[in-house]
Amino acid sequence: MKKRIISFITAIVTAAFALSFAAFADFKSPAEVQPIIDEITAFELKKNGASDIQDWINGNLTQNAGKSSEWYAITLSKYGNYDLSDYADALENYIAENKISSSTSRMKCAIALLAAGRSGKLTDEIAENSVGEQGIMSLIYGLHLLNNSCSCSRYTTDTLTSELLSMQFDDGGWAIMGQYGDIDVTAMTVQALAPQYEKSETVRNAVDRALMFMSEKQQEDGGYISFGTANPESAAQVLIALSSLGIDVTDTRFVKNGKNIIDGIVKYKLADGSFSHTYGGDSNDTATVQAYLSLSSYILMKETGARMYEFPAESSVTQPESVDTPEITTVAETAPATEQTIQTGNETVSPAPEAKSDYKPVAYCIIAGVAVTGCIVLLILKKRRLSNFVAVIIIAGAAVAFIFFTDFRSSDDYYRGGSLVKENIIGKVTMTIRCDTIVGKDSSPYIPADGIILDTTEFDIESGETVYDILTEAARTNNIQLQVNGDYIAGIAYLYEYDYGDLSGWIYHVNGDTPFVMCSDYKLSDGDVIEWLYTCELGNDLKTNS
């Protein structure tokens, strides 16, 4: 019996070690990366009820042209001989029938049209009306268009390149705002500048500085952190940038602690083939498609030397016409969400405090009853050894201690309104929560007409309290819904990241500045002014709203 138990434990340890090793494998070759792409493909086929990739293109991707299909369409344009004409027709119709207010969204559609082989009047019109209209991101996307022969009377490739180069910070990076580089924006800028790297010494020097910046920002697991949050999308952008320059992931500048960028992306892979935005989180559409795009960009570079954003570009890499869909385990079974959600409406509600039921005395009685019952059973079975009764007492004692040191409460109890009583108060801060940037964008009942979710409210602070602490306190006392993955804020008042574009989500300011640390790491001081703001353009659209 003991041998069986030892064998069983050994098998579990061995399996755990194997899984751990697989999760952090040192990916180096396309042969190791292609199965990851195939799993994403299988996940999307199963999710969309498609029999093969062409069926997926003609079905879901065409139906969602202009909304959520573009990065997948761009990726698939580089492989095999897939027919993207239905998708391109639908995208042209979407552009004609909808007012796309974001210049970067318009240009993303134009890039997708180029990928589908539809260059011409429409893509030129988008370039003419969009390049440079919305800060640095519109310059980056604009350079992709001009690199692919789109025309714009206000810019040439050279003048657009010069303007981007003039925006590089002293640390070698680029960002939408502030004085320090942001990893995502830097990587995306490098992707746009890549075609000129070998042609211009000025571009080469600037990109080399950016490479140093990206190398220094890489974490020990091979990945990256953006706005204080470790995520696969930032690593994906760096991988596309390196692939655009022909730099392999084995380059020593981008290997930390034996881990490369692909390791930093693949650690977020879930059992069903999709990817999460935060480690251990739920399946996330943006994380999944960015992993798909970046890993495909890497294989494209290794197999053909081509860049993802070169159109037209032929590739010798082939994708199977159909992919067997593996048995998919639900995310809930494989990666439990660390999400806490407060179920309220979009209005600020302050219900009268209700008496909180105290479950602990009842729990203690139940434990005592179970312990007594256990002792009676031992007596009946004549297992009257003292050690048996001691074991029952120890187990009961452990259960009592667990109940004593924990505090289980329902959301109604926990988020029931009322102010928190604090000791050792060191000052006061104010906080507002606003979504001005999306007022009028659609008819969502969760968008207040004035954009104010929480008007300026004062909070006492104790030593060591953070922006995260005050946000969750505000949610408790004002019944504001939150979706929190770990300590990453994914949604406030039912308004979530990516709801209004690839660059949309919540960011916070303190005293008018954007800290580049997680809200749980920013310790507050007396007089600090906190703003939580919804952005559609990674903060660039907040200059007139904050």
Of residues 12 and 428, the one with the higher pLDDT is 428
Q: What is the pLDDT of residue 409?
A: 45
CATH code of the domain in which 473 resides: 2.170.130.30
Sign of CA dihedral 361, 367, 368, 369: positive
Number of structural domains found in the chain = 3
Of 261 and 388, the structure prediction assigns the larger pLDDT to 261
Residues 370 and 252 in one domain: no
Residues 435 and 382 in one domain: no
Q: Which helix (H) or strand (E) holds 541?
A: none
Question: Which structural domain, as residue segments, surrounds residue 512?
Answer: 417-542
- pLDDT of 420 reads 64
Query: Which tokens belong to 420?
Result: 């928190």
- What does the pLDDT average to over 520-545? 83
User: Which position has the higher pLDDT, 63 or 514?
Assistant: 63
**What pLDDT does residue 50 have?**
96
Predicted confidence at residue 456, as pLDDT, reads 95
Over residues 498-507, the mean pLDDT reads 83
The predicted pLDDT at position 485 comes to 64
pLDDT at 546 (0 to 100): 40
Same domain, 301 and 450: no
State yes or no: pLDDT of 412 exceeds 70. no
Asked if residue 350 is part of any domain, the answer here is: no
Residue 487 confidence class, pLDDT cut points 50, 70, 90: low
DSSP per residue, 60-115: IIHHTTTTT-HHHHHHHTTSTT---HHHHHHHHHHHHHS----HHHHHHHHHHHHH
* pLDDT, tens digit (0-9, with 9 covering 90-100), for 263-276: 999 999 999 999 99
pLDDT range class, residue 434, cuts 50, 70, 90? very high
Q: Which of 198, 234, 201 has its CA nearest to residue 219?
A: 234
Residue 387 scores a pLDDT above 50: yes
Q: Are residues 294 and 381 in the same domain?
A: no
Q: How confident is the model at residue 374 (pLDDT cuts 50, 70, 90)?
A: confident
Confidence band of 133 (pLDDT split at 50, 70, 90): confident
Confidence of residue 191 (pLDDT cuts 50, 70, 90): very high
Residue 77 confidence class, pLDDT cut points 50, 70, 90: very high
369 and 425 co-located in one domain: no
Task: Answer yes or no: do 401 and 421 share one domain.
Answer: no
- Whole-angstrom Cα distance, residue 11 to residue 340? 35
In this structure, which amino acid lies at residue 440?
G
Rg (CA), the chain: 27
What is the reported pLDDT for 341? 37
Lowest mean pLDDT among 20-34, 219-233, 490-504: 20-34
Q: Say if 254 falls within a structural domain.
A: yes
Alpha carbon separation from 85 to 57, 94, 237 (Å, rounded): 9, 14, 28
345: in domain? no
pLDDT digits (tens, 9 = 90+) for 337-366: 333 333 333 333 333 333 334 556 777 788
Shared domain check, 371 and 280: no
pLDDT tens profile 27-41: 556 788 999 999 999
